Chains A and B, each alone.
Chain A
């Protein structure tokens, strides 16, 4: 079945450090891939997405590239800020499908 695996947290970084959160997936066909972010006490917000192989999603300095050959969608940011502290979820869905599959979430703590 479809599934998403992402690196366990928490990840603790100093401000301006480089961030990578790994995400790999298992799916039939050609899924769409997403990163959602959850700030404390809030719902999930879409951060970025990619709908086909080699697409790069980007938003707010975050990037992720859809790699079909490695079935990966790793999240990166060149210089994190304290305000980026949140839980990040990798997710997938398939075309005309009715549900999303989420990874287990990775908590990011950014220290000043």
Chain B
């Protein structure tokens, strides 16, 4: 079965550079979530999109932006990178805003960003 695809899997950047992560949700999933997981930490919610509109916002820095496109894939853009941005970035998708009927997020394998 098709899963959530994230690219790139690994990314190394210098401080103050820009990075873009991509997420391709499971077909027919209309909601995409971005999470940031620092070393040894739990996933922190960044932002979510439903039907190409931002549906909720968490602890996403102003230096970050994201959008969902007409084919439902999403991109997370990170600018002026800082050392503390080094983390595993997960994308997850669901159908219908993770409603109770499905109640499940399907996660990608993550994109590991290292800022030097």
Contact = CB atoms under 8 A, between A and B. Distances in A.
A99 B35 CA distance: 10
A34 B103 CA distance: 9
A10 to B, nearest CB: 11
A97 B50 CA distance: 11
B110 A98 contact: no
Contacts of A105: 41-42
A77 interface: no
B82 interface: no
Nearest to B106: A46
Residue of B33, B50, B103, B107 ringed by the most chain A CB atoms within 10 A: B103
Interface in A56-112: 89, 93, 95-105
Contacts of A51: 100, 103
Nearest to B107: A43
A93 B98 contact: yes
Given A100-B98, A104-B41, 15 more contacts: A34-B104, A42-B109, A42-B110, A44-B90, A44-B92, A46-B106, A93-B98, A95-B99, A96-B100, A97-B98, A98-B50, A98-B98, A99-B48, A99-B58, A100-B45
10 contacts: A32-B103, A43-B108, A44-B92, A51-B100, A89-B42, A93-B98, A93-B103, A97-B98, A98-B48, A100-B105
